[in-house]
A and B are shown apart, each in its own frame.
Chain A
Amino acid sequence: MPDEDASNEKHDRENRLVFGQSTRRTFLSRLGMAGLLTSAGPVTTAFAQRSVKEPLPSPISKDAVPVTLTVNGKKHDLRIDPRTTLLDCLREHLHLTGSKKGCDHGQCGACTVHINGRRVNSCLCFAAMHEGEEITTLEGIGQPENLHPVQAAFVACDAYQCGYCTSGQIMSAVALLKEPCGPEDADVKELMSGNICRCGAYPNIVAAIQSVRQNAKTQKAG
């Protein structure tokens, strides 16, 4: 898949963190490989022997279906097992790892994306059901050099600790701006209750969202 490589490269560039020339992702995968080599010699040998004798079955199911998904304005022609959730499709097939897998049962909100501008839990969608719809992920709403106002407000208000739920929180908050939501903090809390933060950054998350709403109101009035 040609756009897979391009997307990988772009992803690496955008998420470059602190490990020299590595990204967090490549650093962790190297660490994992090193651990395997030092501690599991006999296992790797057995694995190698097995792969010579009987090739592993293809990971692509015989029931795979062709699907064209439009993600962040870009079309992707894919062939996927119908069991593939939109979340797994985004992460594993398109390598858009901004959407996170938390509970995988629609309870935590870490996987929140937009379909046709509305927020949904991508872990409870079969990807093959969403052909022709506009799917937007965290990668589609802002870039490091050009943050969405909600992203900028999360930075300004310190609206995260570990960061795992943050992309879901941001996607939810961006959608909330266009939903019927009362003016109070309590109204925001109610409409954000589908996004769980185990670190408990809730007060700052609410402050970030309220600051964006306040700015929008001021700009409108001005």
Chain B
Amino acid sequence: MKTFTLTRAGDSAQAIATAAKASTAQQGAEIRFIGGGTTLIDLMKLNVEQPKTVIDINRLPLDKIESLPDGGLTIGAVVRNSDLAYHPLVRKNYAVLSEAILSGASAQLRNMATTAGNLLQRTRCMYFRATDMPCNKREPGSGCAAITGVNRSLAILGTSEHCIATNPSDMNVAMAALEATIHVRGAKGERSIPIADFHLLPGNTPQRETVLEPGDLITHVTLPPPPPGSRSLYLKLRDRASYEFALASAAVVITVADAKIARARIALGGVGTKPWRSTEAEGELTGQPATQAVFQKAADAALRGAKPESENGFKVELAKRCLVHALKLATQPA
């Protein structure tokens, strides 16, 4: 690990002013905020991340979960994953979020990992993590070893000829289906970013993973109130029964009324370069009866743009079956 200076942020303004001096924002930047450290310290040990300054934001007052007047929820940036997953309001109104978080990592890691940190979780692509291999995300212009290499676990949606790295987070997939909003305070003031616009596709610049600018500090995330009569769930398929990243996963928030699907929000994990919201699948579901045939059409629509590589072609069918089964579970009589 390279040496760095460790400072503790006294207040948000000070943290933002310091981080604004960096040439890039957060991921891979020379000035980094640290929350739980479960991704950052791991990557610093591998020399994948080499920040010169690390700012500890854990003592900032960003650790509350509170209900909003409209019935929604606000979640502080440094709220731990375990506190979020076990919160009574989350379990009651946002089951998909609780299930997604509890399906990821281990109890120890969930006690450390934060909401904001999870939004910025970096890929598990083995070429990104190995500094002796080419990787456009880690070292722009060096090439992508994964496209012609070991790519079984990598993405089939949203890829580019420069990067096929999967976004590894489960929480992000649930947040995408819940249409979360990410609130950021930066050098130029405050702004709110819908989660669909927060993560970037790799394109020609896979090193840039989010719309954050230097100095931007995620302060909290808000969730809209749960749609009346809706049900939500998260289904995750993987090589091991526990403590493993998704090969394919589905987050579903669905309302069935008068034997028709009135509203559906669908997001997929383990298959996309970003948390993969599928408005195509939602379009196939809305106004239709909750039947296997309709679910299948939605799944086909969600994976229509899939571009598999040499080893991850199985994910196309796996993701479809994952979504079909998740929809079946979410719409069967209670």
Contact = CB atoms under 8 A, between A and B. Distances in A.
Contacts of A189: 242
Contacts of B243: 193-194
A180 interface: yes
Contact of B106 (A65, A104, A126, A193): A193
B187 interface: no
Nearest to A122: B108
Interface of chain B, main secondary structure: mixed
Contacts of B6: 65, 82, 126, 128-129
Interface in A107-127: 109, 112, 118-121, 124-126
A119 B42 contact: no
B304 interface: no
A179 B102 CA distance: 13
B5 A194 contact: no
Chain B interface extent, by class: 20 to 34
B329 interface: no
Chain A interface extent, by class: 20 to 34
Interface string B95-122: 0000000000111110110000000000
A121 B39 CA distance: 12
A176 interface: yes
A85 B54 CA distance: 14
B45 interface: yes
Which residue among B1, B4, B112 has the maximum number of chain A CB atoms within 10 Å of its CB? B112
Nearest to A63: B3
Which residue among B34, B107, B243 has the maximum number of chain A CB atoms within 10 Å of its CB? B107
B43 to A, nearest CB: 10
Contact of B109 (A83, A121, A190, A192): A121
Interface in B1-49: 1, 3-6, 8, 34, 36-38, 41-42, 45
A176 B107 contact: yes
B58 interface: yes
A61 interface: yes
Nearest to A118: B111
B42 A124 contact: yes
A121 B112 contact: yes
A83 B107 contact: no
Contacts of A195: 106
Contact of A191 (B34, B41, B56, B107): B107
Nearest to B8: A129
A105 interface: yes
Interface of B: 1, 3-6, 8, 34, 36-38, 41-42, 45, 54, 56, 58, 82, 86, 105-109, 111-112, 241-243
12 contacts: A82-B54, A105-B45, A119-B107, A119-B111, A120-B108, A121-B38, A121-B112, A124-B38, A124-B41, A126-B41, A193-B242, A195-B106
